[in-house]
Amino acid sequence: MLLLSIVGCSANKAETSDNVVLVTQTENSNIKDSDMEDTDVTEQQSDDLTITSDKKTESDTEKSGKTMKLTLNGQEYNVTLNNNSTIDDILKLLPMTLKMQRYAGHEYYASLPETPTIQGVTTTSDIKAGGIYYWDGWNAFVINFEDTNIAPYKVVHVGDINGNIVSELDKSGDTITVNVQ
């Protein structure tokens, strides 16, 4: 929930650590960081008020109860999936074997055989190690092994790998083969 109380006419700017909230507003506003959590990406403007909040919706970030399994170098890893239409489309492609390329020192990626939808799905630039993402720019299924911010690019957060795949990926070579079920 987002609560604002605005009075007066001078400009201010407020920022939070993970998601930037820019507020150009009048004096004496009352904004709590905790009120900004789990809100939609929004932008509102008037002559003396602009609010931009980059937050995920509750429906996109809740786990779906669906899982997938990755096998890398004989080791199995379970993935807890988020709940959105991109993931539903990816699940229809399973099982598949992906030859993944190391890229930018923080991820492995491979193109999917078909393009899932991203329409209406929340995207992010904040990438976490052990996360699986989908980037429509390369139709890419991506496994990250290092936290990073990829702005201005945005990806769909598919889910999170349960187990320590990060150290395995960090020491892997230029290519890996992953079975996805």
Rounded to the nearest 5 degrees, what angle is found at the Cα of 39, between the Cα atoms of 36 and 43?
A: 90
Both 48 and 63 in one domain: the answer is no
Measured CA to CA, the distance from residue 94 to residue 50 in angstroms comes to 44
Domain carrying residue 103: 59-180
Q: State which amino acid sits at residue 84.
A: N
Does the pLDDT value for residue 132 go beyond 50? yes
Both 85 and 151 in one domain: the answer is yes
Measured CA to CA, the distance from residue 94 to residue 52 in angstroms comes to 38
Those residues whose C-beta lies under 8 Å from the C-beta of residue 89, and which sit 6 or more positions away, are 114, 116, 117
Span 134-171, pLDDT tens digits? 999 999 999 999 999 999 999 999 999 999 999 999 99
Span 33-84, pLDDT tens digits? 434 344 343 334 434 433 333 333 333 445 678 999 999 999 999 999 999 9
The per-residue pLDDT for 16 is 38
Both 11 and 65 in one domain: the answer is no
* pTM tops 0.75: no
156, 138 Cβ separation under 8 angstroms: no
What is the number of structural domains in the chain? 2
Both 25 and 68 in one domain: the answer is no
Both 32 and 97 in one domain: the answer is no
Kindly report which listed range (47-51, 68-72, 103-107, 116-120) carries the lowest average pLDDT score: 47-51
Both 40 and 80 in one domain: the answer is no
